Amino acid sequence: MKMEQKWDDDEPTLIQALIDIQKGLGFLPPEKLREVATSFGISEAYIWGVATFYNIFRFKPRGKTHIKVCMGTACHLSGGGLVAEAAERELNIKVGETTDDQDFSLERVACVGCCMLAPVVVINDRVYPRMSPLKLEEVLIEFKRDKKED
């Protein structure tokens, strides 16, 4: 416990270690969290507590098609929440999850820098402007069709 209190004071170092792992692997696998806990001399429960506190961390790998729904102010006010809900319905997952077949993952993100095009969705780094629930459903149906043909 004493050791963990020490990390309360130096949490940025621990968080940076988690960020570095996620940059490399795309998510935080349990075995890596275990390794970090050991190397930092803290319990697994503590490190899980830290990692799950921040919503920047993912605990499952991203899907082959990664969908980011912008929830910055402009996109939120333009219906970004409804677009995110449409994606959840179409993919049958919640924001932050990946489909069982690993084909799709869904994430909410802060402003992606093209507010004039709100609401915006980014799919595998391509920006889809002025999205609506219906437009996103059509795009996702197209992606699913392409995957079946692969």
**Site track for ligand FES across 116-145, x = CB under 6 A:** --x-x-------------------------
- Which distant-in-sequence residues (6+ apart) come within 8 Å of 121 by Cβ? 67, 68, 69, 70, 83, 87, 127, 128, 131, 136, 139
Measured from the CB atom, the residue of 41 and 113 that comes closer to ligand FES is 113
Tokens of 127: 């920006």
Residue of 115, 132, 135, 137 that binds ligand FES (CB under 6 A) = 115
Give me the residue whose beta carbon is nearest to ligand FES.
72
Pick the closer one to ligand FES by CB: 63 or 80. Answer: 80
Residues 21-80 contacting ligand FES, CB under 6 A: 70, 72-75
**Consecutive H or E run containing 44:** helix 44-53
What is the four-CA torsion angle of 14, 9, 55, 75, rounded to 10 degrees?
-120
